[in-house]
Amino acid sequence: MKSFTYERATSPAEAAAKAAKTPGARFIAGGTNLLDLMKLEIETPPHLIDVNGLGLDKIEATDDGGLRIGALVRNTDLAADDRVRRDYGVLSRALLAGASGQLRNKATTAGNLLQRTRCPYFYDTAQACNKRAPGSGCSAIGGFSRQHAVVGASTACIATHPSDMAVAMRVLDAQVETVKPDGKTRRIKIADFHKLPGTTPHIETALQTGEFITAVTLPKPIGGSHVYHKIRDRASYAFALVSVAAVIQPDGTGRVALGGVAHKPWRVEKAETDLPKGAKAVMAKLMADATPTPENEFKITLVERTLSAALMDARA
Amino acid sequence: MASPIDISPNRRDLLITAGAAAALSSAATATTAQTADLSQPVISKISFSVNGADQALELDLRTTLLDALREHLHLTGTKKGCDHGQCGACTVMVNGKRINSCLSLAVMHDGDEITTIEGLGTPDKLHPMQAAFIKHDGYQCGYCTPGQICSAVAVLEEIKAGIPSHVSDDLTATPQVSAHEMRERMSGNICRCGAYSNIIDAMSEVAGATA
Amino acid sequence: MKFDTPATTNPIDQLKVVGKPTDRIDGPLKTTGMAPYAYEQHEAAPNAAYGYVVGATIAKGTIAALDLSKAESAPGVITIVTADTAGKLDKGNFNTAKLLGGPEIEHYHQAIALVVAETLEQARSAAGLIKVRYTKAKGAHDLEAIRTTATRHKDSKDSLVGDFAGAFSAAPVQLDVTYRTPDHAHAMMEPHASIASWEDDQLTLWTANQMIDWGRGDVAKTLGIPKDNVRLISPYIGGGFGGKLFVRADAILAALGSRQAKRPVKVALPRSFMFNNTPHRPATIQRIRIGASKDGKISAIGHENWSGDLAGGGPEDATQQTKFLYAGANRLITTRLAVLDLPEGNAMRAPGEAPGLMALEIAIDEMAEKLGLDPIKFRVINDTQVDPENPARPFSQRQLIKCLHTGADNFGWDKRGAPGKTRDGRWLTGMGVAAAFRNNLTMKSAARVKLDNKGVVTVETDMTDIGTGTYTIIAQTAAEMMGVGLDKVVVKLGDSSFPVSAGSGGQWGANSSTAGVYAACVKLREMIAKSQKFDPAKTTFADGKVTSGRKSIDLGKAAGASGMVAEDFIEFGDLGKTHQQSTFGAHFVEVGVNEVTAEIRIRRMLAVCAAGRILNPKSARSQVIGAMTMGAGAALMEDLVIDKRHGFFVNHDLAGYEVPVHADIPHQEVIFLDETDPMSSPMKAKGVGELGICGVGAAIANAVYNATAVRVRHYPITLDKLLKDMPQIA
């Protein structure tokens, strides 16, 4: 871990401004991913801005009947919130399917969104990785790729986004609220927040330099049956091979997003019109242009079957 | 057939320019420019309470809570198994909540109340969970054990506090103590010796006694 | 004491203490965090500097240039150890690759430097400043690709009995299948760790090591110093499973670092470094052929095994159990070793038998199905009470059939349905069975027993407790022998200044080390009896008193003011040659497989074991359930994945190399059959720590088959291997 300087921010806008002033600075909240990466020198920030004391740990009702989740709300608290459990069950389920109790107690809403990939080649600093060292190549292509992306990947990167929470937020049409170094705020649709790798896999989100997440907002509840199915080799404490977040209405219509298959939470809205016809019907559009490797082509089948299980559960 | 290649053990030169979006910030244009002198460790004063006793330390900012406990306070009951949040051996309670102390900087715990295994009980005055682990042989090599016990104590509290889990059938119902619930909630604590079945027996006994 | 005739009645048979389920005597320390492990010697080795290891990032080649300049001038750095500064180093007898590489590199993450600094943070940071330029050499990283180049290792013996080829081709029912097991990591929770301290030319190493005397010898050999100048201390060990049988880089680098820094140095291997730096269980390819008559009698059994290792390494002999487990007049059993440029392969819990039974016991299941026989019945038909290769040689004890039948009764085996036909909602359920087998090994083991004037018995031996419960069974043994309660026994382990023990490995530790304590206690009893002018043969030790006829005296008084000390060892004669000594068991498993997603979850597990006298049923049961858990990992998830282009294990952390978590493991049941084995030792015990992992993987595989009717022969059995054959969904 490289040496760094450290300060505690006093307001979101100040935090953003400070971050812009020190190139390479990082905000630290839970730290559960950042410190992991700093120990391996995958992240080498010269400056850390501790944002824990900014009072962004509240969940509040919004004027339009939705919820505003502070960036610093811990995963445990978000999952356990009565309103989330009642009205946004898919989010609670997704959070509870992720990590461990200890990690959820520390990890924050914004930090979860900003998790970096768990690709083993990204994590091994001796291996080529365009995400960690742009231009060095992608060792995962042609290497061990069982966990990797099957849709939306590029020839530069086949990493997946590891978050469960973000998949549920994608299905809920969440928005990310930020403040920029100049003090201006904006809202970014979750659909636009995470990027596909393309030729710049090191650029993972729509955030600009210094831009600081203050909250995630959820629109008013959409009802329906909320399901989150996470498939992994062991029964807990593992990243998804495939996950399916679904909200299904009594008439069979609904929404679905996938985790573990792409560089971002994967949702294809036009595929959803076929949901009433069942999982198979959705697949063509949902997984169009899939480019699996021999090691992960099973994910295509697994998506269909997991979605099928999710639909069965939603209708049960 | 040999080919010369040039790789530093951790590609430091490349890392600095990686500048990916991470942590809470996007700093996509990050470069090597630095404003502070980082050629020497940055030292910070930290004070917190551990097992009820106030502690004041001067630490390299990079020191994790885990290393502060083990290497500076010599409280070695909290274990380092992986140092990356992948095993749970370092589990402690901070302000009553269990966390992985390896993934937390000591400096971020100024003013916090920390409870480690040493604070739960002693050989002469065991915590009920420690006694139950002995009775049910819920450990073998003992290395993951402090973390298991801290988690076990916290898990029963979390259930009592109504926090749901991945295996709770009804999200909106009050979670119950069951082997199924405890197994899921304890899954962040790996025991390679494989004492899981006995750990759940130990927890069940304590939960029954305190229910 | 030489053990060369079968044991007769002895004080252990009283079973006042031995054989009772006993809480571990080290429990209060372990559960309160007060048991100090190798890296936690702040009092014994104060002011230690911190060492951080740098590993090679190629699989094979040489270091062309090593630039330490930035690291050397980094804050807090005291010294840096490399092959250049270390001077001439030999290689330990138990190591295949060098523990400090350079200029030659033999495997990925082979240590090439140790940075020693004032703090961990400084050492770690400076390690990142070392620049290395390599000249990479081409290597072989794929066992499958070089399988045909494999040869017979000098220590491997082919078992060729009768006419296998003829008998197999003539057999009315034949099975010819190939199984694959991947490389496995020990992944013990305590990383390899050591603290080294020199006083003049005397080295003290607090180190996590299962085999103190082997380690002491290899430290001395590697460093080129007399063995007498080395002291190893290892009172608590955070798991080993074979991974800490041998001296590793942490110990040697700590010693070298301490010599250069002139103060104690502590080194722990970072977790992400362990998977490629330290040994692993090698992958195997196993072809099994069984020929049988229609009524299920095996006439031909063939087991050919291939594994790979670095040049100079050894095979993973997955055929060991096949030599003994089933009858059959015609036999072809061979093991072959290829040279692979991967990290070093070596022993992991039940080397040989663990992967061997993962294959053989599926084959038995497959053959039983072909024959239309219940797999338990098929095993019973082919049971043998003698060594099939040498029928003049009986087993000392063999209760395999009873294990199977007891397990079947307790598990409800009769409720097993046809493959793919039993369901519980969306879950297809199935049961599987497999035999467990592990040879009983014995090792010379010494102990010193002291009796003080308060009647306290102190046992000293360099034996280790790696979670096995050694502290407790040694205390039970001494208590039984000396007629005192456990509260009057002190056990000191894991210090090379104590008499040399069997050490912890090959499930020989419990039987051998307690037998060594037994021998020392016999000697002490004689000394005490003689001191009172009692006839040793007529003297009894009970309730803290030594008694002969009507004379009785408190032990403490008998010890005299300065106490008494006795030291002896047990060594083993030919009983292991005249009698085949093995441990047996039967594993029963029920699984559920989600018919939609193919997720596999274990629902029930039962092991029935026959392994001689069970010294402490509580800790022995824990050994078995722990091994069952590790076997579940091997069956369902564990897989060190090789990057065949670059020659290293890719998933080198505990997120990537998945081992079972709480949620994977149901309540586990263990039944020990009543057994004593007088051929094994005066304790009449054998081992169970490895027996528990033997066969359990196949029982899980067979249960998955019974649930789904899909046979997977390539471990781990992950859902992707089932998916394409799962039932169609709506």
Which residue among C24, C35, C237 places its CB closest to the CB of B134? C24
Contacts of B153 in chain C (CB under 8 A): none
Tell me if chain C has a CB within 8 Å of the CB of B69. no
Per the CB < 8 A criterion, the answer to whether B117 and B93 are in contact is no
**What is the mean predicted confidence (pLDDT) over B29-58?**
79
B16 domain-assigned: no
Angstrom distance (rounded) from CA C132 to CA C63: 7
Partner-chain contact A31 B9, CB within 8 Å: no
Which H or E run contains C434?
strand C427-439
Instruction: Read off the amino acid at residue B150.
Output: C
Tell me if chain C has a CB within 8 Å of the CB of B13. no
Partner-chain contact B9 C125, CB within 8 Å: no
C377 Cα to chain B: minimum distance (Å)? 30
- Mean pLDDT for chain C overall: 98
Angstrom distance (rounded) from CA C44 to CA B76: 14
Tell me if chain A has a CB within 8 Å of the CB of C597. yes
Count of residues making up chain A: 316
Partner-chain contact C272 A2, CB within 8 Å: no
Tell me the DSSP string of A169-180: HHHTT-EEEEE-
User: DSSP character for C140?
Assistant: -
Helices first, then strands: H and E counts in chain C: 19, 32
Partner-chain contact C723 A305, CB within 8 Å: yes
Let me know whether B189 and B110 are in one domain.
Answer: no
Closest CA to A169 of A73, A233, A252: A73
What angle do the packed helices C696-708 and C353-371 form, to 10 degrees?
A: 40
Let me know whether B136 and B211 are in one domain.
Answer: yes
Angstrom distance (rounded) from CA C266 to CA C293: 62
pLDDT, residue B39, reads: 83
Closest CA to C111 of C97, C92, C128, C129: C97
Angstrom distance (rounded) from CA C487 to CA C485: 5
Instruction: Read off the amino acid at residue C705.
Output: Y
pLDDT tens for A5-25 read: 999 999 999 999 999 999 999
Angstrom distance (rounded) from CA C38 to CA C264: 13
Closest CA to C659 of B185, B146, A234: A234
Partner-chain contact A212 B25, CB within 8 Å: yes
Strands C61-67 and C284-292: unpaired
B6 domain-assigned: no
Which residue among A29, A41, A100 places its CB closest to the CB of B24? A29
B21 domain-assigned: no
Domains and CATH numbers, chain C: 2-33+442-577 (3.30.365.10), 395-440+581-725 (3.30.365.10)
Angstrom distance (rounded) from CA B67 to CA B106: 8
Lowest mean pLDDT among B14-18, C390-394, C487-491: B14-18
Query: Which of C599, C603, C658, C661 best tests the A interface by mutation, with the highest count of A CBs <10 A?
Result: C599
Nearest CA in chain A to B182: A101
B58 Cα to chain A: minimum distance (Å)? 14
Q: CB under 8 Å to C406, separation ≥6 — which residues? A: C586, C608, C671, C673
Angstrom distance (rounded) from CA C200 to CA C394: 55
Share of chain C above pLDDT 70, in %: 100
Tell me if chain A has a CB within 8 Å of the CB of C641. yes
What subunits make at least 3 CB pairs under 8 angstroms with C?
A, B
- What separation in angstroms does the CA of C375 have from each of A54, C1, C252, C363, C515? 65, 44, 50, 10, 38
Q: Among residues 390-449 of chain C, which lie with CB inside 8 Å of chain B?
A: none
What angle do the packed helices B145-160 and B196-210 form, to 10 degrees?
A: 40
C192 Rama class: left (phi>0) / alpha (psi -120 to 50) / beta: beta
Nearest CA in chain C to A280: C730
Tell me if chain B has a CB within 8 Å of the CB of A44. yes
pLDDT tens for C300-327 read: 999 999 999 999 999 999 999 999 999 9
Strands C284-292 and C298-309: antiparallel
Angstrom distance (rounded) from CA C721 to CA A250: 35
Let me know whether B137 and B205 are in one domain.
Answer: yes
Nearest CA in chain B to C628: B194
pLDDT tens for C559-610 read: 999 999 999 999 999 999 999 999 999 999 999 999 999 999 999 999 999 9
pTM of the model: 0.96
Let me know whether B207 and B125 are in one domain.
Answer: yes
CB pairs under 8 A between B and C: 242
User: Six-digit token pair at C97?
Assistant: 């690759």
pLDDT, residue B6, reads: 36
Contacts of B81 in chain A (CB under 8 A): none
pLDDT, residue C729, reads: 84
Exposed (0-12), middle (13-18) or buried (19+): which is C705, by Cβ within 10 Å?
buried
In the block, tokens 């006793």 appear at B53
Partner-chain contact A85 B27, CB within 8 Å: no
Per the CB < 8 A criterion, the answer to whether B154 and B93 are in contact is yes
Last residue of one domain, picked from the residues B93, B118, B143: B118
Partner-chain contact B19 A202, CB within 8 Å: yes
Contacts of A4 in chain B (CB under 8 A): 38, 42, 61-62
Asked whether residue B30 carries a pLDDT value surpassing 80, the answer given is: no
Per the CB < 8 A criterion, the answer to whether A255 and A246 are in contact is yes
Tell me if chain A has a CB within 8 Å of the CB of C645. yes
Q: CB under 8 Å to C153, separation ≥6 — which residues? A: C314, C315, C335, C336, C337
Let me know whether B46 and B104 are in one domain.
Answer: yes
**What is the mean predicted confidence (pLDDT) over C124-132?**
98
**What is the mean predicted confidence (pLDDT) over C239-252?**
98
In the block, tokens 């003090």 appear at A183
Last residue of one domain, picked from the residues B118, B149, B168: B118
Exposed (0-12), middle (13-18) or buried (19+): which is C486, by Cβ within 10 Å?
middle
Q: How many domains does chain B have?
A: 2
Contacts of B26 in chain A (CB under 8 A): 203, 205-211
pLDDT, residue C623, reads: 98
Active site residues of C: 690
pLDDT tens for C401-437 read: 999 999 999 999 999 999 999 999 999 999 999 999 9
Asked whether residue A169 carries a pLDDT value surpassing 60, the answer given is: yes
Let me know whether B188 and B126 are in one domain.
Answer: yes
Which residue among B4, B122, B137 places its CB closest to the CB of C24? B137
Nearest CA in chain A to C728: A305
B175 domain-assigned: yes
Burial A139-154 (b: 16+ CB within 10 A, else e): bbbebbbbbbbbbbbb
Burial B40-55 (b: 16+ CB within 10 A, else e): ebbebebebebbeeeb
Band of residue B18 on the pLDDT scale cut at 50, 70, 90: very low
- What separation in angstroms does the CA of C428 have from each of B168, C221, C422? 22, 56, 6
Nearest CA in chain A to C727: A305
Partner-chain contact C57 B7, CB within 8 Å: yes
pLDDT tens for B140-156 read: 999 999 999 999 999 99
Contacts of C626 in chain B (CB under 8 A): 140, 193-195
Let me know whether B162 and B203 are in one domain.
Answer: yes
Nearest CA in chain A to B27: A209
- What separation in angstroms does the CA of C723 have from each of A303, A306, C56, C600, C636? 11, 11, 39, 11, 14
Asked whether residue B181 carries a pLDDT value surpassing 80, the answer given is: yes
Let me know whether B111 and B48 are in one domain.
Answer: yes
Q: CB under 8 Å to A295, separation ≥6 — which residues? A: A144, A145, A146, A148
Three-class DSSP category at C616: coil
Per the CB < 8 A criterion, the answer to whether B195 and B139 are in contact is yes
Exposed (0-12), middle (13-18) or buried (19+): which is C418, by Cβ within 10 Å?
exposed
Share of chain C above pLDDT 90, in %: 100
Three-class DSSP category at C612: strand
Tell me the DSSP string of C271-315: HHHHHHHS-BBPPEEEEEEEEE-TTS-EEEEEEEEEEEESTT---
Let me know whether B73 and B129 are in one domain.
Answer: no
Asked whether residue C198 carries a pLDDT value surpassing 80, the answer given is: yes
Give the residue numbers in A contacting C (CB under 8 Å), as ranges: 1-3, 39-41, 118, 120-121, 123-124, 126-127, 139, 142-144, 146, 229, 231, 233-239, 241, 278-279, 298, 301-302, 304-306, 308-309, 312
DSSP bridge partners of B25:
A212, B22
Which residue among B134, B143, B189 places its CB closest to the CB of C238? B143
Which H or E run contains C551?
strand C551-554
Contacts of A43 in chain B (CB under 8 A): 22-23
Tell me if chain B has a CB within 8 Å of the CB of C244. no
Partner-chain contact A2 C128, CB within 8 Å: yes
B35 domain-assigned: no
Which residue among B25, B100, B189 places its CB closest to the CB of A27? B25
B34 domain-assigned: no
B93 domain-assigned: yes
Contacts of A102 in chain C (CB under 8 A): none
Asked whether residue B23 carries a pLDDT value surpassing 50, the answer given is: no
Let me know whether B134 and B111 are in one domain.
Answer: no
pLDDT, residue B17, reads: 29
Angle (CA) C544 C548 C553, round 5°:
40
Which residue among C57, C636, C645 places its CB closest to the CB of A126? C57
**What is the mean predicted confidence (pLDDT) over A80-105?**
98
Domain with B136 in it: what CATH number? 1.10.150.120
Burial A245-270 (b: 16+ CB within 10 A, else e): bbbbeeeeebbbbbbbbbbbbbbeee
User: Six-digit token pair at C286?
Assistant: 């196993």
Which residue among B27, B42, B164 places its CB closest to the CB of A6? B42
B52 domain-assigned: yes
pLDDT, residue B38, reads: 82
Closest CA to C573 of C562, C581, C565: C581
Which residue among A34, A134, A209 places its CB closest to the CB of B22? A34
User: CB neighbours (10 Å) of residue C154?
Assistant: 8
Report CA torsion sign: C580, C583, C585, C587: negative
Instruction: Read off the amino acid at residue C444.
Output: K
Tell me if chain C has a CB within 8 Å of the CB of B184. yes
Contacts of A142 in chain C (CB under 8 A): 645
Please give the residue range of the domain that contains residue B135: 121-211
Let me know whether B80 and B150 are in one domain.
Answer: no
Asked whether residue C640 carries a pLDDT value surpassing 70, the answer given is: yes
Last residue of one domain, picked from the residues B54, B87, B118: B118
Exposed (0-12), middle (13-18) or buried (19+): which is B170, by Cβ within 10 Å?
exposed
User: Six-digit token pair at A172?
Assistant: 């809920």
pLDDT, residue B36, reads: 58
Let me know whether B106 and B144 are in one domain.
Answer: no
Count of residues making up chain C: 730
pLDDT, residue A314, reads: 93
What subunits make at least 3 CB pairs under 8 angstroms with A?
B, C
C692 Rama class: left (phi>0) / alpha (psi -120 to 50) / beta: alpha
Angstrom distance (rounded) from CA A314 to CA C200: 73
Nearest CA in chain B to A89: B171
Tell me if chain A has a CB within 8 Å of the CB of C128. yes
Which residue among B26, B41, B155 places its CB closest to the CB of A3? B41
Nearest CA in chain B to A104: B99
Domain with B88 in it: what CATH number? 3.10.20.30
Partner-chain contact B10 A210, CB within 8 Å: no
